Amino acid sequence: VQTKLPNVGTTIFTVMSALATETGAVNLGQGFPDFECDPKLVQAVTDAMTRGLNQYPPMTGVPSLREAVASKVEALYGRRYDSGSEVTITAGATQAIITAILAVVRPGDEVIVLEPCYDSYVPNIELAGGTVVRVPLVPGTFRPDFDRIAAALTPRTRAILINSPHNPSATVWTREEMLRLQDLLAPTDVLLISDEVYEHMVFDGHRHQSAASFPGLAARAFIVSSFGKTFHVTGWKVGYVLAPAPLSAEFRKVHQFNVFTVNTPVQHGLAAYMARPEPYLELPAFYQRKRDLFRDGLRKTRLRMLPSEGSYFQCVDISAVSDLREDEFCLWLTREIGVAAIPLSAFYGGGFDQRVVRFCFAKRDETLQEALARLARL
Ligand code: PMP
Ligand code: GLN
């Protein structure tokens, strides 16, 4: 077969979860909770099914859910998106990102990604016929390097993809960094795709800086988020995209032929559940406690922890523990120590020379404790 994606195999998340299952390892690799969501949310979805809300919803999403999203975004980030023309419900953030890319990237367009980055971005751009322009985040700190971003901008640049809180490094962009990006893009017509799926997981009193809060960014942005992350239901695969009406219109042209619509009862259930803001307002404290529990245990090992400012990930440098390459280390760690992790090299297109791996701490305390007991053997 003539392949469209010669460099793509099965994603690392699937590979490592399969290995964890096969070996009985504690799975801190793929990012997903091992605990249940709020039973009230399940009840809300069940109620919607029982009420007979089981046929196709409107193409852009159930109106009450679009309205709930618009209200949340206005309350938290100060920008009002019109729920009719500027909010679209998607089959997870994954679909939102590829649909945004297919909607705006033409063959030959350049799209800037900041490496390390989530593994779907690069193949998405390639499928659209775009040219991937990789700009590294600062090695070691994973902060954006604005000189290098500026140097990567050309007349052919169509879009830049950013992600904060960041998977895998767990850094969170500051207000100053968002302002610098806004200044940098001001003289251009470059579009922004802002992946904010971990928006409600920011620690130590810091605030998530949504592109929605920066008028010069919001005007050019597709902002993507995921109910799966926020409400502990990654398997439901429902997310959303916010964009000014003309960009949303382009998005919807593609969306209707990608998936047409998204699961009806889940949308109704989420809309009802979002009447109370507590579930997402309580999320930072919920995950900060898990992060701290995990970090307290890691401190007793020779793994060197990197900061974790947001997301549900914790990265560690393995240099003091092993001479293996980070991808080999993850296989060894899963098989011999019984804990699965993800090598950071999976988030790069090559040229990775750091010895860092990622753990996910969206797990029950017992799971984290079991993993820590095993890691103590390192
Ligand atoms: N972007 C990032 C940075 C992610 O970590 C994930 C989830 N792994 C996604 C997008 C996809 O989210 P969803 O499961 O809603 O498709
Ligand atoms: N986003 C999750 C992670 O980074 C997993 C998503 C997936 O399996 N594709 O681990």
Tell me the ligand closest to 166's alpha carbon: 1
12-30+282-375 with 39-279: one CATH topology?
no
Can you tell me which residue has the tokens 């579009």?
A: 191
| Residue whose token pair is 């109106």 | 63
Is 15 within 8 Å of 335 (Cβ atoms)? Answer: no
Inter-CA distances, 135 with 139, 311, 348, Å: 11, 22, 10
**For 85-131, how does the pLDDT look when each residue is reduced to its tens digit (9 = 90+)?**
999 999 999 999 999 999 999 999 999 999 999 999 999 999 999 99
Sorting pLDDT into bands at 50, 70 and 90, what band is 1? confident
Candidate of 30, 117, 236, 345 to mutate for ligand 2, largest count of ligand atoms within 8 Å of Cβ: 30
Cα separation of 74 and 67, whole Å?
11
- Give the pair of three-digit tokens for residue 7: 């460099």
Whether the CB-CB separation of 126 and 113 falls below 8 Å is answered with no
Q: Which residues pair with 317 in a beta bridge?
A: 304, 356
Tokens encoding 6? 């010669």
Name the residue ranges covered by the structural domains of the chain: 12-30+282-375, 39-279
Atom of ligand 2 nearest to the CA of 168: 4
Cα 199 to its chain centre, rounded Å, is: 9
pLDDT per position as a tens digit, 149-159: 999 999 999 99
pLDDT digits (tens, 9 = 90+) for 41-56: 999 999 999 999 999 9
The answer, yes or no, to whether the previous bond of 116 is cis (omega within 30 of 0) is: yes
Element (H, E) at 89: strand 87-90
Q: Quote the pLDDT of residue 7.
A: 86
Q: Per-residue pLDDT for 352 more than 90?
A: no
Q: What is the 3-state composition of the chain as percent helix, strand, coil, each rounded to the nearest 5?
A: 45, 15, 40
Euclidean distance between CA atoms 158 and 101, whole angstroms = 10
Preceding peptide of 165 cis, ω within 30°: yes
Listed residue (196, 209, 274, 201) closest to 241, CA to CA = 196
Tell me which residue of 189, 172, 207, 215 sits closest to 81, measured CA to CA: 215
Q: Assess whether the C-beta atom of 117 lies below 6 angstroms from ligand 1.
A: no
Token pair in block for residue 222? 């597709």
pLDDT given at position 188: 98
In order of 44, 45, 57, 79, the CA distances from 51 in angstroms are 11, 10, 14, 34
pLDDT in tens, 263-304: 999 999 999 999 999 999 999 999 999 999 999 999 999 999
pTM of the model: 0.97
Tell whether ligand 2 has an atom less than 6 A from the beta carbon of residue 13. yes
Q: Residue holding tokens 């679009």?
A: 66
Closest CA to 198 of 327, 45, 33, 43: 33
**Beta strands in 155-250, from DSSP E residues, in sequence order:** 157-163, 191-195, 221-226, 239-242
Q: Which two tokens stand for residue 21?
A: 């299952």
Ligand 2 pocket residue status of 226, Cβ below 6 Å: no
ipTM over 0.95: yes
The domain at 39-279 falls in which architecture?
A: 3-Layer(aba) Sandwich (3.40)
The answer as to CATH 3.40.50.300 being correct for domain 12-30+282-375 is no
